[in-house]
Structure 1
Amino acid sequence: MSASTVGPADIEQAAGRIAGHVRRTPVVEASPGVVLKLEMLQHAGSFKPRGAFNTVLAQAERPQRLVAASGGNHGLAVAHVGAALGIPTDVFVPDIASPLKVAAIRGRGATVHQDGANYAAAFELSAELAAAPGALAIHAYDAPATVAGQGTLALELEDQDPDLDLVVVAVGGGGLLGGIAGWYASRVPVLAVEPEGCPAFHDALAAGRPVLAPVGGVAADALGASQVGQWGFATAVAAGVTSVLVSDEAITRARHELWATHRIATEPAGAAAYAAISSGAVEVAGRRVGVVVCGGNASPADL
């Protein structure tokens, strides 16, 4: 592992560590040339347990406590890992966190601390407990073990469909993007999709480095990092990842289309990558495109 990027060897090691702890999620062909990776069927409803399990299992000694700051999905994943491994867990979430996700975190036995306007504020509030002896802080996206764990999704996807011409993935803090880019390592182009209200990676590409970006919109609870992580950004840039922004309206339409047409229930963040397809922001004709449906932690009542 280099100082700033994650590569295939790191991801293969992560896959070995977490085997038996995560699901091999299925793929389905939604339409000619469009393949959906249904990661919302992962434990805890998103891809996040991959990185969380890898972080914990890579430790030389078993942690006495797990600590995480999260917009929701990461906290839910860490709570799942803590419950699965029998380790007490504390999760710090902002005021904007989905009540459904907060209830699910508590339901897995974690202690929830809800305060702060956004993820960054929740992260600051978690620092004191994370520094306690025996505690392991599991970053939501900006750590090599997290990025490598998320990259196991791409390892699976290539095994399931080795003929993809493009992989499309939603971006929050960049952990999943970095993992996927690190696995494909420029062999297959990767497109990052963000809501217009949460353009952390898009703005970082324009600036040439991670910078502060606005946070808002329908997917802010899951994609609302105010700044993309260094590890994911460096890995994505090294792999030549490109970026596109989609509107909240496109995400909402894509979420409803996934349900109405395919009976796939997602949260808004989980529909963001598909929104780039359904809105026409990505040209599919003549290509085989893999689309990551990354999370499903939302009430189905509005589908």
Structure 2
Amino acid sequence: MTAPAALPVTPDDIRAAHARIAHHVRRTPVWTLPSAFGHDGPVSLKLEFLQHAGSFKARGAFNNLLVESVPAAGVAAASGGNHGAAVAYAAHQLGHKATIFVPEISPKAKVDVIRRMGAEVTIGGPRYADALFACGMHIAATGALSVHAYDAEATIAGQGTVALEWEEDAAGGLDTVLVAVGGGGLIAGIAAWFGGRVKVVGVEPENSRALHAALATGEPVDVEVQSVAADSLGARSAGRLVTEIARAAVDHVALVPDEAITDAQRALWRDFRIATEPGGAAALAALLSGAYRPEPGERVGVLLCGANVDLAKLDALA
């Protein structure tokens, strides 16, 4: 698949974002295994769970705050946890006030990270959509800068810097990358960077399939959300910018059951002592479960994207 030139986020945007945020984020390692997880070819793990605040989202957060003028009211964001932690961290580092709206389903471990980063936390309702509405009301009342979790050009370009680094650092190159999808900012940025040169495959829980539904219908649609990974992969609908980029440059979306996600968490913790939250292990779940079946020798990349997990719960899986 070859992406058209006129996408809303381009490789040049991603290069500019990388130059802008490079001194504020970690260049996370790439670990290439000659064969692993039942595949006879190389598997390249991008260890993005080692990023500041525990997920890739620090990239988009910094890019937003460095390209926008931040008012005295500070910044505001709605988040299941990781985006809020990233915005809180970026705001703190750059000297801005942050107010984060989270849904009731956000795990305590993630809410604790947000508070530890210095942000004010407000419970916005039962689900992410409710927190997003409450955040919008706050922005309208105060004039705070909105930092969208996924459907903004600055967010997508920031997340796309993951792919720029991955391509430079992956030993032997990449044929395919597997990327977990919530609202879709991460996969949109990665697909915008690779532009058809590398196959980009999204991975969603079977019962939280916003991008899968958007690609099936041609536009964002609301879906039901019920998954062990709902706090990070639980967007009710994919973004419009995300959908436009994905239609052009994402090969397809693989669906995985919750059991496969927890199996992937268990394997990473048991065999490598890598602690990931459910959403952070979802991309690997596609490989382990057979939801994505690579060709013999295919060079497969797996993005491990989030580490904000309750370690007691993780240890119980093993």
TM bucket (normalised to shorter chain) is over 0.9
Query: 1:115 pairs with 113, 121, 124, which one?
Result: 124
Please give the secondary structure, in 2, of the residue aligned with 1:131.
Answer: helix
Does 2:195 correspond to 1:180?
no
**How many residues are matched?**
301
Question: Which residue of the partner structure matches residue 139 of structure 1?
Answer: 148
Partner of 2:38: none
TM-score by length of 1: 0.96
Question: Which residue number corresponds to residue 203 of structure 2?
Answer: 193
1:138-158 CA-to-partner distances (Å, cap 9, x unmatched) read: 000010100000000000000
State how far apart, in whole Å, the 2-side matches of 1:79 and 1:42 are: 14
**1:1-303 equivalence runs, <5 A:** 5-30=8-33, 32=35, 33-59=42-68, 61-64=69-72, 65-132=74-141, 135-161=144-170, 163-284=173-294, 285-301=296-312, 302-303=314-315
Q: Is the 8 A contact 1:210 1:229 kept in 2?
A: yes
Q: Name the CA distance, whole Å, in 2 between partners of 1:114 and 1:283.
A: 40
Residues 181, 241 of structure 1: 8 Å contact kept? no
| Percent of paired sites with the same residue | 53
Structure 1 range deviating more: 128-137 or 182-191: 128-137
Contact 2:124-2:135 within 8 A present in 1 as well: no
Tell me which amino acid in the other structure corresponds to 1:89.
A
Segments of 5+ residues of structure 2 without an aligned counterpart are 36-41
Residue by residue over 1:211-261, the C-alpha shift from the partner in whole angstroms, topping out at 9 and shown as x without a partner, is 111111100000000000111111121114311100000000011001111
Q: Using the TM superposition, give the Cα deviation of residue 109 of structure 1 relative to its aligned residue in structure 2, in angstroms.
A: 1.1
Q: CA deviation at 1:4?
A: 5.8
CA distance in 1 between partners of 2:219 and 2:81 (Å): 26
Q: Which runs of 4+ in 1 moved over 4 A?
A: none
Whether contact under 8 Å (2:176, 2:300) holds in the other structure is yes
> Structure 1 pair 165/3, CA: closer, same or farther in 2 (3 Å)?
closer
8 A Cα contact 2:61 2:147, kept in partner: yes
- Which amino acid in the other structure matches residue 183 of structure 1? W
Distance in 1, matches of 2:131 and 2:309, equals: 21
Task: Provide TM-score, normalisation by structure 2.
Answer: 0.92
The answer to whether the 8 Å contact 1:267/1:295 transfers is yes
Aligned-pair RMSD on alpha carbons?
A: 1.4
TM-fit CA distance, 1:263: 1.5
CA contact (8 A) 1:198 1:214 kept: yes
The answer (yes or no) to whether the contact 1:210–1:233 under 8 Å persists in 2 is: yes
Deviations 1:150-202 (A, max 9, x none): 00000000000161000100000000010000000011110000001110011
Q: Sort the Cα spacing of 1:255 and 1:148 in 2 relative to 1 into closer, same or farther, 3 A.
A: same
Structure 1: runs of 5 or more not aligned: none
Q: Mean Cα displacement is larger for which, 68-77 or 100-109?
A: 100-109
Structure 2 residue matching 1:52: 3-state secondary structure: helix
